[in-house]
């Protein structure tokens, strides 16, 4: 660990008085004995209550009725069913919001989002990389239909090529099919008065589950929220990569 008095790059967003450079765990361990224990726990307790309220709010939002399926519920139903060693990846798009809010990461799991909520098309390549790095762990990729059509569909062919090499064959690609570039639609709604440019915003409806089946993978189609839990169960107990598809 090194201590430097001044390094402008480290103070880009918030002014730092002392910049420490080092392995995060090692550095924190070295700092811990220097902290004074505070007797007043009121701030910590307040945050604990707020966190509880947040999860209650997330549950209400996820279970809010929608036709055909509320996308928040897709991730909400996934979360408790994931094994402790699961790895979850998310694409850019509205699924990044549900990944960030509705997935409650457990100790031992790993979660990866394309940096800065930026690059579309990352989720399935990330998931494949995760399978090569950890072939014994189940992996889930959350992907919008726009990102799916951009490049992730082609990566199913890569999965088909390699899945039999993986000791745990589970790689679930969960597609949020809303026939829309929804994240952009929301941005335009909030910032620009909701202009729509159909030529680029309206997406073809693709039979993702059937495409997966045509490759010899499992295809699961869901358009009823009550079937989400059992769809995750099926995908997580399948003997090969699975493919969860939802409408709207
Ligand atoms: C390569 C790339 N192009 C464009 C964008 C801008 N962008 C961010 S989210 C998004 C729409 C994503 O649509 P989709 O994958 O269908 O997910 P949805 O938001 O509909 O759930 C776009 C175009 C980006 N982040 N990366
Ligand atoms: Mg979409």
C-alpha of residue 148 to centroid of ligand 2, in Å: 9
C-alpha of residue 147 to centroid of ligand 1, in Å: 6
Q: What is the pTM of this model?
A: 0.88
Name the nearest CA neighbour of 176 among 52, 75, 41: 75
Q: Give 226-246 pLDDT, tens digit per residue.
A: 999 999 999 999 988 877 665
State the first-to-last Cα distance of the chain, in angstroms, to the nearest integer: 50
Question: Residue 6: pLDDT above 70?
Answer: no
Cis omega (within 30 of 0) for bond into 68: yes
CA distance 178 to 203: 8
Please report which confidence band the pLDDT of residue 18 belongs to, taking 50, 70 and 90 as the band edges.
Answer: confident
List ligand 1's pocket residues with C-beta within 6 A: 92-95, 118-121, 144-147, 176, 178, 180-184
Residue 1 pLDDT: 58
C-alpha of residue 191 to centroid of ligand 2, in Å: 19
Residue 246 pLDDT: 59
Residue 89 pLDDT: 97
Q: Which of 117, 146, 149 gets mutated to test ligand 1 (max ligand atoms within 8 A of its CB)?
A: 146
Question: Residue 142: pLDDT above 90?
Answer: yes
Q: What residue owns the CA closest to ligand 1's atom 2?
A: 120
Name the nearest CA neighbour of 224 among 72, 68, 70: 68
Compute and round to an integer the Cα radius of gyration of the chain: 21
**Please, what are the domains in the chain?**
68-247 (3.40.50.970)
Question: Residue 73: pLDDT above 90?
Answer: yes
CA distance 68 to 247: 6
Residue 57 pLDDT: 98
Ligand nearest to the CA of 184: 1
Residue 241 pLDDT: 83
C-alpha of residue 92 to centroid of ligand 1, in Å: 6
User: What is the β-pairing status of strands 2-4 and 19-21?
Assistant: antiparallel
């Amino acid at each position: 660990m090194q201590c430097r008095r001044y390094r402008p790059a480290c103070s880009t967003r918030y002014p730092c008085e002392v910049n420490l450079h080092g392995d995060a765990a090692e550095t924190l361990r070295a700092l811990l004995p220097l902290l004074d224990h505070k007797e007043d726990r009121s701030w910590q307790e307040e945050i604990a209550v707020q966190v509880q309220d947040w999860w209650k709010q997330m549950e209400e939002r996820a279970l809010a009725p929608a036709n055909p399926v509320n996308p928040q519920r897709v991730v909400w139903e996934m979360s408790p069913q994931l094994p402790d060693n699961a790895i979850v990846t998310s694409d850019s798009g509205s699924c990044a919001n549900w990944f960030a809010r509705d997935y409650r990461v457990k100790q031992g799991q790993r979660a990866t989002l394309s940096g800065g909520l930026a690059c579309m098309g990352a989720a399935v390549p990330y998931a494949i990389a995760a399978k090569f790095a950890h072939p014994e762990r189940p992996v889930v990729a959350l992907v919008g239909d726009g990102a799916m059509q951009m490049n992730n569909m082609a990566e199913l062919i890569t999965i088909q090529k390699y899945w039999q090499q993986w000791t745990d064959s589970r790689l679930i690609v969960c597609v949020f099919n809303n026939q829309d570039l929804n994240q952009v639609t929301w941005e335009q709604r909030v910032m620009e008065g909701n202009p729509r440019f159909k030529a680029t915003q309206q997406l073809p409806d693709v039979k993702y589950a059937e495409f997966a089946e045509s490759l010899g993978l499992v295809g699961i189609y869901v358009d009823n929220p009550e079937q989400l839990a059992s769809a995750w169960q099926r995908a997580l107990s399948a003997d090969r990569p699975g493919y969860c598809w939802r409408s709207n």
